[in-house]
Structure 1
């Protein structure tokens, strides 16, 4: 799957692919991740796969049990609520700092990526079922990252990105079109508040936006 220019590079490639597949919902929560099978599929050694899975375990997407190997993390309402709470604290702070420090180039990037997001379909039909589009998912991630990209605190940004991955894991199990939610309108309102340099309004919209993920997933209607 990649040029063999070092086990570290191979491990990084496998880590990224597995992370992408897990976040895309290709592996069900709790599913065992058999090292030998993955190694065969990726055409790499078991050591490379084991290193990749260990990395993902440190990010919280994979569970590592000394007696039972690796498995995809399980989903729980309690954990999602904790993730949402952590995002509200950290990402709200990063958003305020980004609005305060962002320059014209940052604004231009926000406008550009929001335009892409607005023009991309969120769902696609797979095996007669609606599923989140991989293209939309990637642009959606870029949009939220760009909103906080001007935050000058790299530690805070790293925390936000790790929390995003955990939140994304849950979002892919949120039933499509379960509510009358208008995601495009939410993203536009958020982008507008950010570009207007209205930190209070941006944070208020952001808080409501991510809370709906939890409400949809656990059917809190």
Structure 2
């Protein structure tokens, strides 16, 4: 009991630091390949040496930060090759998850997917009306929730963990397209309707095809 509160407090600090740094990486405040020095990060975000190192360890496990030969950390690169590789893995993982969910999912799964589709539609409208950073992150979270809902009946927690990891790695690219006005929201709405119909009909070929088109379009591929 004596140490439980301290561990909980430390976890909360690390979670807040990770959220702030993750956000700034997503919006390009911390640039690809930028060195991340503990001292500089503490001046900008607060925290202790220990909490900042733990934060960077967590972000490194997510793939948005990487260690540099035991000499420190840097923001992961964001080249066209990186985008293609992330796209490749996201497609394979999420298509496998959706395929398994279509086979195993019940009515409750369908309801989760439909609710997530509705939330994305509403977020699309909100981010177009007010494209500030807060709304953009809310929009991206709605998109993430849909991706997770689609594979939530796969029966594989590890598959879901991988999907979440690579979704997170793709966030920078998607938010950059949003800032540049390169998201086709009308086409997104059409794909969402097609995806809902395919899920309800358990049409695997159509559902996987729409998912592939959707991930590719949202990453500018």
TM-score (norm 1): 0.82
Cα distance in 2, alignment partners of residues 103 and 20 from structure 1: 35
C-alpha offsets along residues 119-153 of structure 1, whole Å, 9 cap, x if unaligned?
A: 22234344xxx997122111111111111111101
Q: Does the C-alpha gap of structure 1 residues 136 and 199 become closer, same or farther in structure 2, counting only changes over 3 Å?
A: same
Q: 1:213 Cα deviation (Å)? A: 3.5
- Please tell me whether residue 187 in structure 1 is matched to residue 195 in structure 2: no
What residue number does 1:113 align with?
A: 116
Cα distance in 1, alignment partners of residues 13 and 183 from structure 2: 42
Q: 1:206 Cα deviation (Å)? A: 0.8
* 1:25 and 1:172 in contact (8 A); partners too: no
The equivalences for 1:150-165 within 5 A come to 150-165=153-168
Q: 1:207 Cα deviation (Å)? A: 0.8
Of the three residues 177, 181, 200, the one matched with 1:177 is: 181
What residue number does 2:84 align with?
A: 81
Q: Which runs of 5+ in 1 are unaligned?
A: 217-221
What residue number does 2:58 align with?
A: 55
The equivalences for 1:20-169 within 5 A come to 20-66=23-69, 69-120=72-123, 121-123=126-128, 124-126=130-132, 133-169=136-172
Higher strand share: 1
- Please tell me whether residue 208 in structure 1 is matched to residue 219 in structure 2: no
Cα distance in 2, alignment partners of residues 111 and 63 from structure 1: 36
Cα distance in 2, alignment partners of residues 21 and 156 from structure 1: 27
C-alpha offsets along residues 160-193 of structure 1, whole Å, 9 cap, x if unaligned?
A: 1111111223212225333656222222322321
Q: 1:32 Cα deviation (Å)? A: 3.2
Higher helix share: 2
Cα distance in 2, alignment partners of residues 131 and 31 from structure 1: 24
TM-score (norm 2): 0.82
Cα distance in 1, alignment partners of residues 184 and 44 from structure 2: 40
* 2:18 and 2:56 in contact (8 A); partners too: yes
After TM superposition, the structure 1 stretch with the greater mean CA deviation from structure 2, 200-209 or 175-184, is: 175-184
